[in-house]
Chains A and B, each alone.
Chain A
Amino acid sequence: MTGALMEARGLTRRFGSVTALDGVDFDLKPGEIHCLFGENGAGKSTLASILAGVIAPDDGALAVGGGPRRYGSPADAIADGVGMVHQHFALVEAFTVLENLMVGLPGRGWRPDRAGLAVRARALAEDLGIALDPAARVSTLSVGERQWIEILKSLMEAGRILILDEPTAVLTPEESRRLFAMLDGLKRRGLGIVLVSHKLVEVMQSDRVTVLRRGRKVATLATADTDPGTLTRMMIGASPPPEGTQAPRAAGAVVVETRALTSAESAGGVPARDVSLTIRAGEIVGVAGVAGNGQAALFDMLAGALAPASGEIVIDGARVSPVSPTEMMRRGVRCIPEDRFRQGLVGEMSISENLMLGRHRAAPFRRGPFVDYGAADRVAANVIDAFRIATTGPQARAASLSGGNAQKVLLAREMAPGGRVLLANQPTRGLDVGVVATVHAALRAKRDEGAAVLLASEELDDLLALCDRILVMFRGRVMAAMSARDADVERIGALMAGRQPEAAA
């Protein structure tokens, strides 16, 4: 193939017994956006990291600009003009923007050239249409602004090939549109762009797409010649499970009510401010908003993990006081927290132990004063079967599970009978369509059972597919509430960014 910026043949990489990448070919042309598309664990990040010199392949060959390469470290890739924006932020929050741009820059000597770097950064930022304050501390920047800094950093070091690993996972719809506008500009200047994504809307904006499944390449296609249905089938190797339909139902009695619920400013993160909401039995209420706008505080208070500074929580007509986790558990509140590994599961415990947590004192896990591990293993085996969890068995450590499988364990635990209120904060974050469908089905099943469900998600698709009513949160406040039927994506997007759209009516 001539004119390729980058070309790879037969890339293979194993991690222990897992073959993360198995004989994959890949090529990138100047001036194109080439998407890597696949489920969680398909090997997208592994491929992207090999291209950027972050990990070395066990087998296969790589050529950049026609010359063969064996990258020993990312520094070699950077020297070739290959830069990468990683899936998780690689910025130092305690540093200023300029310090972040300075870290790890190739160069010698003891004193970095701050002024020169600031000038270069400003010029490039202007080119990209980014507002840049080199002296601002990264911890004060919004998630979107941080992503621009990441991109800027990559481009300052390496200007030929830009690799982005799920860059929109953390962005609002509007920010992702801006990102694509930025990428279009770069593409027109002849950069080659590798974009990792599992979102169809994004894939459809690329020039070519390579679909990966379980470490193997399924196909490389021109995006114009394909369609979302085909890509999805290629990605999961089967047809996706059908989404349930939204039949109008009569909502039941009010189960949860909050009155001017406010959390302390000092609790860390953005507090919830003056939140009043109601959730009825058999209803899913959605909370739209970029994560970090007070949802965590609201959910923590409802789960009893954080005491409100003022306001009250009423469940089944009775005020909850004091607000504590045991009290909330007793009233049937169950919770799928935002960070499944830190708050939801104990990584060092087995799947069966994790499934028992919090209900180990009740049947079927209790046998006199002892815990019935046999029963726990049987429950776990059933869950592994029912949710099709990819693992070695009930004794596998939770930390060994991929994000999607870990989420299924959490879902199974929190969905178990006895829960009347289900709180789910960002339950589909980072998951592929297969697991997302499982999460959706679980929330619907819970609703149909008559539970009151509160769902916060950055993905408007989740909310529009599932909710009866939608609230929008920004900086801790509820900006607006609407019925899902009249919800419109533009308006919610604007509210999520803190703007009250001019009232049309």
Chain B
Amino acid sequence: MSADLYDGAIVVSILAATLRTMTPLLFSAMGELVTQRAGIWNMSVEGAMLSGAFAAYIAIATTGSPVLALLAAIFAGMMVSLLNAILTASLKVDHFVAGLALNLLAAGLTLFWFRAFISGRGQPTFDGLAPPDWALADLPVLGPILFAQRPLTWLAFLCVPLVWFLLYRTRQGLELRCLGENPAVLDFKGVNVVARQYAASLFGGAMTGLGGGFLILAFSDRFLPDITAGRGWLVVVAIIAGGWRPLGVLAAVTVFAFLEALAIHAQVLGLGLPHQLFLAAPYIASLLLLTHLRHRDRQPALLGEVYRRGER
């Protein structure tokens, strides 16, 4: 590509894409952060996000309403996390086993239903969420980066301080963190540990479902069986890399999204590296982060431990 493209326009475009790409990751990461702080090591994020995207697709393809599509996405995400809560909090199944099983279930079911849905009529496309068309969007630089974003992107960013406030400034947040550190403390006070874990799971599932819904409505005009492409796993990595803190998770999500935005622009940038390398960049970054992290001690002490009253 010609050199004159190396100007502000590309940088602006990359930054705008970064924020857009961050949106589904942030929704999901803030939700799953709450789930994990409650002690549930939810491995079914990918499955919940995929289910959210699929439910949004079915809803918008049949009704044409983005609002209904987002509600369907939230509902689907909550169903997956409800199953996860039943398995882990009630039936005391190992958290990893439960999560992996749900991912397989979600991948299989969405594919099956998708085939059933399109058979005979072909794949319908839809008009998803369009960015707002207002004067601020025409501002130079800041316009495309900040104001030409969909309102859900702003909401995703707003979730970071909201979750922070919930965790660190409210009674419910304190008790939520206590669930991940030592649930027996709450149990000894007569607080229903299992009910709280359900609540935290459902919140995580709703947020991840919403992320999946945004993913399909903002980035696509049709459903693809691998539309989430590992984003659910990136969310899990971002939470670990972010040290289970809202701001840390925000930072990790930013890194992943920036790398993905670069990949989108790889052709334009013409760096001469294979396109596939760029596509793999967020995942390579996540591997590097995980192997080099030194702050696993910030992990909630009993994250992923099945809690049974009175066991050592």
Contact = CB atoms under 8 A, between A and B. Distances in A.
Given A91-B182, A95-B178, A111-B170, A54 B312 contact: no
A370 interface: no
A107 B189 CA distance: 12
A54 B310 CA distance: 10
B171 A74 contact: no
Contacts of B188: 54, 74, 84, 86, 90, 104
Contacts of A78: 189-190
B181 interface: yes
Given A53-B190, A76-B190, A93 B181 contact: yes
B304 to A, nearest CB: 16
Interface string A415-446: 00000000000000000000000000000000
A55 B312 CA distance: 16
Given A55-B310, A110-B171, A103 B190 contact: no
Interface in A9-58: 53-55
Nearest to A268: B297
A110 B176 CA distance: 12
Nearest to A94: B181
B164 to A, nearest CB: 14
Interface residues of B, number: 22
A94 B301 contact: yes
A392 B172 CA distance: 45
Nearest to A71: B190
Contact of B175 (A77, A84, A86, A104): A104
Contacts, number: 76
Nearest to B173: A110
B181 A74 contact: no
A73 interface: yes
Contacts of B301: 92-94
A89 B186 CA distance: 12
Interface string B135-178: 00000000000000000000000000000000001111011011
Nearest to A110: B170
A77 B189 CA distance: 9
A112 B170 CA distance: 7
A104 B186 contact: yes
B306 to A, nearest CB: 14
A111 B178 contact: no
Nearest to A399: B312
A249 interface: no
A112 B174 contact: yes
Interface in A95-138: 95, 99-100, 102-105, 107, 109-112
A348 to B, nearest CB: 13
A93 B184 CA distance: 13
Q: Is the interface of A mostly helix, strand, loop or mixed?
A: loop
A109 B188 CA distance: 21
Interface string B299-312: 01100000000101
A371 interface: no
Nearest to B175: A103
A75 B189 CA distance: 6
Most chain A C-beta atoms within 10 Å of own C-beta, residue among B188, B191, B312 = B188
A110 B174 CA distance: 10
Contact of A88 (B186, B187, B312): B312
A104 B170 contact: no
A109 B178 contact: no
A341 B311 CA distance: 12
B185 interface: yes
Contacts of A105: 189
Nearest to B186: A104
Contacts of A91: 182, 185
Contact of A107 (B170, B171, B181, B182): B171
A90 B184 contact: yes
Nearest to A85: B188
Given A92-B178, A92-B181, A109 B171 contact: yes
A104 B169 contact: no
A151 B169 CA distance: 25
Contacts of A102: 171, 174
A100 B182 CA distance: 11
Given A74-B190, A94-B301, A110 B185 contact: no
Given A73-B190, A102-B171, A104-B190, A341 B312 contact: yes
Contacts of B191: 75, 104
5 contacts: A74-B190, A78-B189, A92-B301, A93-B182, A93-B301
Interface of B: 169-172, 174-175, 177-178, 181-182, 184-191, 300-301, 310, 312
Given A84-B188, A104-B185, A111-B171, 13 more contacts: A54-B187, A74-B187, A86-B188, A92-B177, A92-B185, A93-B301, A94-B181, A95-B177, A105-B189, A107-B171, A110-B172, A111-B170, A112-B170
Interface of A: 53-55, 73-78, 84, 86, 88, 90-95, 99-100, 102-105, 107, 109-112, 157, 341
- Identify the 3 closest CB pairs spanning chains A and B, nearest first: A75-B190, A104-B189, A73-B190
